[in-house]
Structure 1
Amino acid sequence: MKTLTRLIVCGLAFGLSSHVMAQGKVEIEWDKPEKYRDVRPSNESRKRFREATFKRIDEYMNKLASELPHNSKLLMTVNDLDLAGEVFPASFVGLGHSTSDVRVIKNIDIPRMKFSYQLLDELGQVIQQSEVNLKDMSFLDRSNSSFRNEPLRYEKNMLKRWFEEEFESQLAQKETKEDPVISKL
């Protein structure tokens, strides 16, 4: 934890851009977000859209992490983000002279996220860590009923699937500890 904070402070002092969101069980460092493949808005400023996108992902990851064992912490460093779809000028997609751009979702413009993570126990010891190059090539074919009207629904669905797979043993461990009937079996 102190090391992450020191790295962030040192990086900022030397002019490296980084954005950190910390709350709850997840701390996400957004490393050099201006170099990400695609975090482009369709109808607002880039900075405001990027901040809102990071906040939504941070809140969602904290929601997922609430299922991890008590006092564990997930540290993530995101190196790239590519949202589903592609942003085009409204006139290019046949919407006339609209002032807003439009994000067009096609199956070839898949959501992607590149990051590393560490899962820490209550003592700050690393339980699990990995480099992740996440992508969902079938994002349009998956049922998104729980995310139907949400911004970032494809990215959230991708993160949920990864999270449940990656932390399956920790999630099962928490369920066993919380349900004494299961732990006696």
Structure 2
Amino acid sequence: MKTSMATCLSAIVLLTNFQLMAATQVEVQWQDPEKYRDVRPTSESRKRFRESTFKKLDTYLQELSSKLPEGSKLLMTVTDLDLAGQVWPASFTGLGHGSSDIRVIKDVDIPRMTFNYQLMSDSGEILQGADVDLKDMSFLSRTSHRFRSDTLGYEKSMLKRWFDKEFAITNRSY
């Protein structure tokens, strides 16, 4: 009984350490988010929507970073974000005055993201870096089924394509 309890505790400590290590693989700074082109909510406060959006994108970037070389760290500073589509008042779309606003997705309202990044080695050496002006002009025709029901699916699909190309990730599953 004591051995199995000690083994469980050791496993928990190892898992916690692994999660902490994975959590520091990407650091994203959202610089002056109030000035971003379009991170507008449809039915909640702007601040809460921004925080939720950034958290979801941070989590997704953490997932993507698992494919980076072990011990490396990706530092990103986002300077602009423009979500796919535009937020329209419900009354403009025929839904009536009491309804929430909606995000209307058309092919002319492409997702965009401007940022700079540095990929650092575990010793602090800069392995690569650049200023990036990311946009996906064909976002409606190439978003995978994986992202279809995701509220940030177009943006995640765009980030995945950039990430795979930039870091030469060969296991592509769009």
Report the TM-score, using the length of structure 2 for normalisation.
0.83
Contact 2:85 2:110 in 1 (8 A): yes
Equivalent position SS for 1:92: helix
Contact 2:143 2:154 in 1 (8 A): no
Structure 1 unaligned spans of 5+: 1-21, 176-185
Equivalent position SS for 1:140: helix
Residue in 2 aligned with 1:129?
Answer: 129
The yes-or-no answer on 1:118 pairing with 2:96 is no
Give the total of aligned pairs. 150
The yes-or-no answer on 1:104 pairing with 2:104 is yes
Which structure 2 residues correspond to residues 29-40 of structure 1 after superposition, within 5 A? 29-40=29-40
Query: CA-atom RMSD, angstroms?
Result: 1.5
The yes-or-no answer on 1:26 pairing with 2:31 is no
Contact 2:143 2:153 in 1 (8 A): no
Equivalent position SS for 1:123: coil
Partners in 2 of 1:99 and 1:110 — Cα distance?
25
Partners in 2 of 1:139 and 1:104 — Cα distance?
14
Residue in 2 aligned with 1:48?
Answer: 48
Report the residue type matching 2:146 in the other structure.
S
Report the residue type matching 1:89 in the other structure.
P
The yes-or-no answer on 1:73 pairing with 2:65 is no
Larger radius of gyration: 2
Structure 2 unaligned spans of 5+: 1-21
Residue in 2 aligned with 1:156?
Answer: 156
Residue in 1 aligned with 2:147?
Answer: 147
Partners in 2 of 1:89 and 1:98 — Cα distance?
10
Structure 1 segments, 4+ long, off by >6 Å, are none
Deviation at 1:98, TM superposition (A): 2.7
Moved more, 23-32 or 36-45: 23-32
CA offsets 1:10-65 (integer angstroms, 9 cap, x no match) = xxxxxxxxxxxx93310000000000000000011100000000000000000000
Residue in 2 aligned with 1:82?
Answer: 82
Partners in 1 of 2:139 and 2:130 — Cα distance?
23
Equivalent position SS for 1:127: strand
Deviation at 1:110, TM superposition (A): 0.2
CA offsets 1:102-138 (integer angstroms, 9 cap, x no match) = 1000000000000000000110110000000000000
Report the TM-score, using the length of structure 1 for normalisation.
0.78
CA offsets 1:64-94 (integer angstroms, 9 cap, x no match) = 0011111100000000000000001000111
Deviation at 1:139, TM superposition (A): 0.2
Aligned sequence identity (%): 61
Equivalent position SS for 1:91: helix
Report the residue type matching 1:115 in the other structure.
F
Partners in 2 of 1:141 and 1:76 — Cα distance?
28
Deviation at 1:143, TM superposition (A): 3.7
Deviation at 1:150, TM superposition (A): 1.0
